[in-house]
Structure 1
Amino acid sequence: MVQDILESSAGNKNRSTAARNCLEVVSYSEYRINQVGGALSGGRLKDARAWMSAALVYQYDCWSGLKYVNDTSQVVQTMAFFNNSLIAGTSSALGMLVNYDVYGDKTGSWGPPRTEREGFWEPGSDSHTPGWVGRFPAGLTADVTVCKGGGGCDYKTVQEAVNAAPTNGKRFVIRIKAGVYEETVRVALEKKNVVLLGDGMGKTVITGSMNVGQPGVSTYNSATVGVLGDGFMASDLTIQNTAGPDAHQAVAFRSDSDRSVIQNCELIGNQDTLYAHSLRQYYKSCRIIGNVDFIFGNSAAFFQDCLILVAPRQLHPEKGEKNAVTAHGRIDPAQSTGFVFQNSVINGTEAYMALYYSNPKVHLNFLGRPWKQYSRTIFVRCTLEALVTADGWLPWDGDFALNTLYYGEFENTGAGADTSRRVSWSNQVPAAHVSSYSVQNFIQGDQWIPGASDDQ
């Protein structure tokens, strides 16, 4: 069906782009669904749920992309098939996985998936406290090196080095020496366990400027660096999108890599800086800069010890604005996705804070807003600086998702952490359930992220 749309859309660039994107993400959905059987037979229910959650993300992305080019009966019929058959079936399968994980063979307890808004937290280990700290593997040896200009190194571009990575799953370490690399980088699905090592934030810089204002460019495709292969790691580099504050969606880093680790990295953009699109992701000691919904997606992403900075937004930023730091996009209550920020700082860049203090009433900043129906974002023991408004959270459109989202806070500090005037549809996480948002329980990180006390 989608192939037929593509073949009939030669003269329509936007519809052709939507169809190509749809074919791409549907193939990812099929890949993840095929993984589920092996996970179930091995008793790895959390893996099965993560992968089925991602399959649903990709199917919805196809439907959503076609929605904006819904100008033929062919597109209408395809959207109906996705919504009524494919997405509905995957949602039901995911719901059964959740029930089996929580209740096992006690099918009498099975039912529609429930969320925190209904007072339900899944059982987990209470010993998994929010204090667990992961770290990047120590002592990695480079398989290849990249230098600006190529002198004395194996490659002169990052993409050439990524292309050289094997497809057998063996870890492949790419050392990128200091320099500014003006390129778009893609790590394909079959390129697993690719590692990018730079010389430090601001020293090794990968930069691009693609944005949705350009013909045929979608938010997904605008990323300077886009990763699909599982087990991706990056450390000590900057990834940026320089499209500018008036270019709308322009992604710096997009990840669909399950069990990925990003440490000591700087991600710079404006609107939509970090597209944490799907699956399980861990960000440690990173600096993330942007303004409009600049951390968004439908992944299960954990941000630990990170610095989150709001940057000036418009061409004339003194006029004021409303910025949401996050826009999580969970579309189904059974999806094991959400954003958790732990021991992180929410503040503004020096330039933004000068604007803010010049007229705080017009510079309004919020922890998040609900991109999709079951948006979920939690801040645990973070420092929320003065720029965070008393309301704390921003609606998307009217009362959309306000009864189904879960926005939680726990023991945050700072001038913006006072919860006495928070919107009524946000929550304080009960102390008895804060362990649900540990690295171990939320993304099973202790199974795949090296711990700070682990021997390497």
Structure 2
Amino acid sequence: MATKLACFVLFMIMSMAISPTLSSVVTNAMDYWCDKTPNPQPCKYFMRQEPKPLVPKTKSEFRKVAVGIALERALHAETHTKWLGKKCRNDKEKAAWADCLKLYQQIILQINQTLHSTKCTDFDVQTWLSTALTNLETCRAGFVELRVSDYVLPLIMSNNVSKLISNALALTITKFVPQSYKHGFPSWLKAGDRKLLQSSSPTPNLLVARDGSGNRRTIKEALDAASKRSGKGRFVIRVKSGIYQENLEIGNKLKNIMLVGDGLRNTIITGSRSVGDGSTTFDSATVAVTGEGFIARGITFRNTAGPQKHQAVALRSGSDLSVFYRCGFEGYQDTLYVHSQRQFYKECYIYGTVDFIFGNAAVVLQNCMIYAWRPMDQQKNTVTAQGRTDPNQNTGIVIHGSRVMATADLSPVLSSFKTFLGRPWKEYSRTVFMKTYLDSLWILQAGLNGMETLL
């Protein structure tokens, strides 16, 4: 009995002596990996909070752990954001809060994609994590632009989600692979979709007509019907000539939707929401799309709020692998919001004044006509404002083979208004104009933050 007791005491002493050593080994291993990230402190803190800390052996294992921690914190932040709704003191705070709740739901979806998609590439992961960061920045921006950033916003953003996603993104840097094209469209566009885009009369699943000659009278009714379809294949909605006064949201569950109009001068979707009337920029869009694989052809997206109402978006796209062909985008400030994900615009017409092509997507605009209106007095035109906030985001605006022109109301008074090709909206802004005709309207911008991004 005495021998057994002595052995037990010896075992306990050895365990106590060894435990700190084992703990320090785990801690040192965690520190080793976290020190390789842009934000090591939150990485170390949250890794140590795990009930069963996993010590990664490879970079890919560490990335999976980092993404998992970011997801866990995003879920916590979403729950916290829901609770904060009752803390909103006025309609403006409520509007910005509602955006944040919606954006956190998208962030969770994007992080989940990186963890559970079986066929994704590193470039896909980089795109989705870049989008998650963009969504967080958009959440913050809503409070700032409505001038209500003093109360609810600090509570929403005090969770380190941004830093944890930035860490995961830094571990997902891929080698540059030039984008390939087939028949004038990105190679990621399926052959069947290319044929639909180039067909003179694609067969629709539903026909929308205001006069009652179709299956539905409004586009929203057609989208509601599409949401109840079985399967996830391409769903074509033809929208006959007419002016449709609708605000549309084509959400994450509405994948592979195609809207086909009767030409950009004939089929027009119009709205008038604006920051001036209490919307956030994000929520001001006449049409907002996040459902993957969205395609539009022969439609104009318009916001009629006017220049006095400031930010007023005609189209906002956060749809991954989306295409807009022979479409029009009409507005003044913030006309075309290329918010996030991978997008392609071909043979489109874009009109605006201030920052009228803006956002943080990986986007190419090819063979487009870009027109600057006459702005308000004491105002200047800016064609692009690119919003890259992290050096590892694979985002930027490329304008290729296009024309940048003055409208008929601006041409006679060019000397009275300055027009710039773009401004570095965020610290790591990236915009490229290639093989593009530049009218005599533009001048070189100077004196802004981020001008070191100019080449």
Question: TM class, shorter-chain normalised?
Answer: 0.7 to 0.9
Question: Who is 1:186 aligned against?
Answer: 249
TM-score, normalised via structure 1 length? 0.75
Question: 2:222 pairs with 120, 141, 161, which one?
Answer: 161
CA, structure 1 residues 270+64, in 2 after alignment: closer, same or farther (shift >3 Å)? closer
Question: Who is 2:197 aligned against?
Answer: 137
> Quick check: 1:130–1:342 contact (8 Å CA) kept in 2?
no
Kindly name which structure, 1 or 2, has the bigger radius of gyration based on alpha carbons: 2
| Residue 42 of structure 1, CA deviation | 3.3
Q: Is residue 28 from structure 1 mapped to residue 86 from structure 2 by the alignment?
A: no
- Counterpart of 2:162, as a letter, is I
Q: Give RMSD over aligned pairs.
A: 1.9
TM-superposition CA deviations, 1:388-429 (whole Å, max 9, x none): 12x2xx35xx441123x3xxxxxxxxxxxxxxxxxxxx32xx
- Counterpart of 1:45, as a letter, is D
CA, structure 1 residues 60+129, in 2 after alignment: closer, same or farther (shift >3 Å)? closer
Question: Who is 2:451 aligned against?
Answer: 402
Question: 2:140 pairs with 63, 66, 83, which one?
Answer: 63
Question: 1:222 pairs with 281, 284, 288, which one?
Answer: 284
> Quick check: 1:301–1:337 contact (8 Å CA) kept in 2?
yes
Question: Who is 2:8 aligned against?
Answer: none
| Residue 131 of structure 1, CA deviation | 10
- Counterpart of 2:222, as a letter, is A
CA, structure 1 residues 192+129, in 2 after alignment: closer, same or farther (shift >3 Å)? closer
Question: Who is 1:118 aligned against?
Answer: none
TM-superposition CA deviations, 1:133-177 (whole Å, max 9, x none): 22663443100001113x221111111111111464221101000
Question: Who is 1:282 aligned against?
Answer: 344
Rounded Cα–Cα distance in structure 2 between residues aligned with 1:238 and 1:342: 21
Question: Who is 2:423 aligned against?
Answer: 369
| Residue 364 of structure 1, CA deviation | 1.3
SS at match of 1:371: coil
Rounded Cα–Cα distance in structure 2 between residues aligned with 1:78 and 1:153: 46
TM-score, normalised via structure 2 length? 0.76
Question: Who is 2:392 aligned against?
Answer: 334
% identical aligned pairs:
37
Rounded Cα–Cα distance in structure 1 between residues aligned with 2:261 and 2:223: 14
Question: 2:164 pairs with 69, 89, 94, which one?
Answer: 89
| Residue 242 of structure 1, CA deviation | 0.7
Rounded Cα–Cα distance in structure 2 between residues aligned with 1:138 and 1:163: 26
SS at match of 2:269: strand
Rounded Cα–Cα distance in structure 1 between residues aligned with 2:272 and 2:294: 23
> Quick check: 2:207–2:239 contact (8 Å CA) kept in 1?
yes
- Counterpart of 1:223, as a letter, is A
Relative to total residues, which structure has the larger helix share, 1 or 2? 2
Question: Who is 2:382 aligned against?
Answer: 324
Can you give the 5+ residue segments of structure 2 that lack an aligned partner in the other structure?
A: 1-79, 186-193
Rounded Cα–Cα distance in structure 2 between residues aligned with 1:291 and 1:266: 15
> Quick check: 2:271–2:302 contact (8 Å CA) kept in 1?
yes
Q: Please list, as runs of the form range in 1=range in 2, the aligned pairs for 1:299-448 lying within 5 A after superposition.
A: 299-314=361-376, 319=377, 321-356=379-414, 360=415, 362-389=416-443, 391=444, 394-395=445-446, 398-403=447-452, 405=453, 426-427=454-455
Worse overlay, 260-269 or 53-62: 53-62
CA, structure 1 residues 237+399, in 2 after alignment: closer, same or farther (shift >3 Å)? closer
SS at match of 1:294: strand
| Residue 196 of structure 1, CA deviation | 0.5
Rounded Cα–Cα distance in structure 2 between residues aligned with 1:310 and 1:91: 36
Rounded Cα–Cα distance in structure 2 between residues aligned with 1:62 and 1:197: 32
CA, structure 1 residues 195+327, in 2 after alignment: closer, same or farther (shift >3 Å)? same
Higher RCO by CA contacts (8 Å cutoff, separation 6 or greater) = 1
> Quick check: 2:142–2:282 contact (8 Å CA) kept in 1?
no
- Counterpart of 2:272, as a letter, is S
